[in-house]
Chains A and B, each alone.
Chain A
Amino acid sequence: MWRWIAPVAALMLAASCIGDPGYSLIVQNSTRARVTFYVDGVNARPGSAFADGVTLEPGAEDVNHWVIPAGDNDQRKATVRAVNSAGSIVYCHRFGFAELRDLHFHIDLRGGVADCS
């Protein structure tokens, strides 16, 4: 522990926003059909799982690293949108950080949730 004190003090003096921000988030398909989900509103680029989508079989889950919303003081919201094999929206919800925390960073994709519009 002691051998870290000087470097850590230097880190704290140097600047804030050091380290790799974000947290783990699990999305689970709790429907009875295969779905593909996307995450909007997180500045995702093509080539990322957020933008390209992740396909989940029933019961399967995906783990990703989220940086938006960043924390309690971040008012941004991320939209999780899932479509079925026909391309119809089967799930859509906007999440703020507090709600994600309340869900223990575990989102269940289930039918009947489509409150984004």
Chain B
Amino acid sequence: MLKWERISNRMTPTGTVEVRVNDDGPLGWIVGIVGGGNPNNVTFGPNLIVSNYNLDPRDVVISHEIGHMLQAQMLERLGYNYLLSYVALLTGSHATHPMEQDANRRAGLPPDFPDNGKPSGYVSPFIYQVRGHP
């Protein structure tokens, strides 16, 4: 388990999020199930990202998940549940899901990320610190 602290978009501090890596608890199991049994990563809200596999803190997908985290913050301020909002908009593929595309836009990634991995020369718009679980 890792903690990402002082996440910011270089303009606005946004707080702390817990990132569970190789999670073998109930949420990790769920992440695997909804990922078709494959390695998968899910943002569960503004404070929690869960991966059922290895997730390096330098992985570009972290920036994408921070994009989801910012969505969750915004939606919950408006009184909506992030995960239910995600399901309500669930049409088509991952690459065409509006919340996936929005998370990519926030992270400065192509709309269909992670299909092509990291863009050449990618620099995350987010600044974050990583701390191991105490």
Contacts and interface: CB of A to CB of B under 8 A. Distances in A.
B26 to A, nearest CB: 8
Contacts of B55: 23-24
Contacts of B122: 49
Nearest to A61: B58
Interface residues of B, number: 44
Given A7-B81, A11-B86, A23 B39 contact: yes
B34 A12 contact: yes
Nearest to A48: B116
A10 B84 contact: yes
B36 A16 contact: yes
A109 to B, nearest CB: 17
Interface in B34-50: 34-42, 44-45
A64 B38 contact: no
A17 B56 contact: no
Contacts of A1: 26
A30 B41 CA distance: 30
Contacts of B81: 7
B1 to A, nearest CB: 15
Q: Interface centre among A22, A73, A104, by most B CB within 10 Å?
A: A22
A102 interface: no
Given A64-B60, A70-B39, A42 B117 contact: yes
Nearest 3 Cβ contacts at the A-B interface: A71-B38, A7-B83, A24-B56
Interface of A: 1, 4, 6-8, 10-12, 14-24, 26, 39, 42-45, 47-52, 63-67, 70-74, 104-105
18 contacts: A4-B27, A8-B30, A14-B87, A18-B35, A18-B42, A19-B34, A20-B41, A20-B94, A21-B38, A23-B55, A44-B116, A48-B118, A49-B119, A50-B116, A63-B60, A71-B39, A74-B38, A105-B54
Interface of B: 26-27, 30-31, 33-42, 44-45, 53-56, 58-61, 64-65, 81-84, 86-87, 90, 94, 100, 110, 114-120, 122
